[in-house]
Amino acid sequence: MPERARSFGAIAEAYERFRPGYPVELFDLVREYAGRPLVTALEIGAGTGKATRLFARQGVTVTATEPDAAMLAELRKQVPASVRTVRAAFEDLRPGRRYGQRYGLVYAAAALHWTVPAGRWARVASLLEPGGVFASCGGPVQLADPAVEEAVRTARAPFLESDEIPSPDGTPPGHDMQWPGTELRRSALFADVRQAVIERRLTMSAGDYLGHLSTVSAYLVLPPLVRERVFRRIAQALPGRVEIAADITVHLARRRRHEP
């Protein structure tokens, strides 16, 4: 997993081009849960700023943190000037002068699974105001047509069994509460843990779908010649255009006002 976590810098421009952004429904969901205006936010692992833009354009003052220099450089091209950007891993974040006061919202978009488990929730809580909101969102991008999905799975099987990221705490896919909600429920630092799903269907060319796969860590860590061969086999299995299911699973929790 550490190798996969460090694999994105080489494809920062492709990540920006081929990864889907986030809909305004995500902001609305977080704001409704918060029950008050979202004024300040800290983003964990902001990547090229897909979620950064959503929150900043809704008037939130965002501090976007990202450990990879290439990803951060791409982010800085894309986000409004109001966004404060900091090169830092989640594990480096501490309340204090560099990161300012505690935040009303701390969030991670398709990034939390790359963070180190030890001390994760204590660190998040330390960055939040009492009663502040934590939000995490993400989810796999899958082919909507089962027949096409099976053809792609068969094409890649000799080289790669799965391109998904397993649940960090082993929660099975069909469980009613998925990670990180499972961990948040066990944490004494957070309350009112909720899970919601924003359903999303997108249509794209086969070329753009392959472009998306070129930004997926499971493929990025393959040897280059193997990766090229896998993509050639997948390309042969795809129709000219594909529909993808890109549902966004959102987890929300509130920092307790009085720590136990």
2-141+166-200+247-255 CATH pick, 3.50.50.60, 3.60.10.10, 3.30.1360.20, 3.40.50.150 = 3.40.50.150
Q: Residue 259 — very low, low, confident or very high, per pLDDT cuts 50/70/90? A: low
Gap between the Cα atoms of 37 and 35, Å rounded = 7
Percent of the chain with pLDDT over 70: 93
Question: Residues 6 or more apart from 133 whose CB is under 8 A from it?
Answer: 30, 33, 34, 38, 104, 105, 106, 252, 253, 254, 255
| Per-domain residue ranges of the chain | 2-141+166-200+247-255
pLDDT at res. 4: 45
78 closest CA partner among 36, 6, 22: 22
Quote the CA–CA distance of 139 and 206 in Å, as a whole number: 20
pTM of the predicted structure, to 2 decimals: 0.94
Using pLDDT thresholds of 50, 70 and 90, give the confidence band for residue 6. Answer: low
**Dist. CA 154–CA 9, nearest whole Å:** 29
Residues 6+ apart with CB under 8 A from 59: none
Q: Is the CB of residue 41 less than 8 Å from the CB of residue 60?
A: yes
Helix (H) or strand (E) holding 31: helix 24-34
For 209, which DSSP code? H
pLDDT digits (tens, 9 = 90+) for 88-104: 999 999 876 565 579 99
